[in-house]
Amino acid sequence: MALSDFQTALGRLVRVQTREDPWCGLDLTASEKAELARLVETAGFRFTVDVQRSWCKGRAAKAAWLALSILPPEERQRLLDMWVGTGGGTASFVATETVAFLDFIAEHLPDPSHVLTLCRMEQATMLASQAASHFVPPDLSRLDAPGCVLRAGRCATIVRFYTEPSRLLAALDKGPLPPLSPDVIPILFAPGLEGLSRVATAVEAKLCERLVAPVAFRTLLREGHPQEAVEALVLIGGAEYWDPGVFLGFSQ
């Protein structure tokens, strides 16, 4: 058995809860597989698994502490167990994994809900703050190019609040959470914004919704989206240029 195959097998067995085949692609004999399977049942190996799972759950909980903090303890534990059970909590790039974990949490939350809002807010803040350090406002002259296509900024997000944001955040310490309001407050997060966020205008919210999929600039104008609003969104990273040559389904 090659050392690399042995190390790979051990790593997979530590994370056996991922349900992947631990032997897939490895050059192991039947007796070597049997020996590794026996190792899994030892107290020392089970301790290693428990330590690794605990570390992974602690790392994930720290990454999404705001959203998780208002969930009932049993629901919080269930989501952490599910995430670690899929192999989460082990990636080298913490920011990338945090975004993925928040997506995972969001899939299991009621919509609308305050906890979903907080989950998306944490995710939006991370994306915008990471991009802000190297963000440069794009050249607006590219809008004049024939066939110019735009899409929503990859590090920009509109998060919908169902109460005043300050009221929701204050309730995290003082409780209880306020009731969900039918009047939605859209908050725009983007790397080019001072403070990374502000209330989105109705025009911006509509434009961001339209740009979920790439669309030609001339189509936006034809649909009635104000050019100045498009330009302003591009300048803060809320929208970005898209190469139609690498996308097969943009709207015309």
| pLDDT tens string 104-113 | 999 999 999 9
Q: Does a structural domain hold residue 132? A: yes
pLDDT band of residue 250 (cuts 50, 70, 90) is very low
**Do 102 and 119 meet the contact criterion of CB atoms below 8 Å apart?**
yes
Q: Does a structural domain hold residue 179? A: yes
**Do 208 and 223 meet the contact criterion of CB atoms below 8 Å apart?**
no
Q: Does a structural domain hold residue 128? A: yes
Residue range(s) defining the domain that contains residue 216: 109-246
Cα–Cα distance for residue pair 163/166, rounded to 1 Å: 8
Two structure tokens written together for 17: 């809860």
Q: Does a structural domain hold residue 159? A: yes
- Mean residue pLDDT across the chain: 83
Q: Is 216 helix (H, G, I), strand (E, B) or coil?
A: strand
| pLDDT digit string, tens, across residues 82-107 | 888 776 665 544 678 888 889 999 99
Q: Does a structural domain hold residue 177? A: yes
Question: Which of 125-139, 216-230, 232-246 shows the lowest mean pLDDT across its residues?
Answer: 232-246
Q: Does a structural domain hold residue 146? A: yes
**CATH at 141:** 3.90.930
Q: Does a structural domain hold residue 92? A: no
pLDDT of residue 12: 60
Could you give the count of Cα atoms lying within 13 Å of 105 in the half-sphere of its Cβ?
Answer: 31
pLDDT of residue 15: 57
| pLDDT digit string, tens, across residues 21-60 | 666 667 677 777 777 777 777 776 665 665 566 656 767 7
Tell me the one-letter amino acid at 66. Answer: L
Number of domains in the chain: 1
Sign, CA torsion 128/206/104/154? negative
Cα–Cα distance for residue pair 221/226, rounded to 1 Å: 7
pLDDT of residue 61: 74
Q: Does a structural domain hold residue 137? A: yes
| pLDDT digit string, tens, across residues 143-199 | 999 999 999 999 999 999 999 999 999 998 877 899 999 999 999 999 999 999 999
Name the pTM for this structure: 0.74
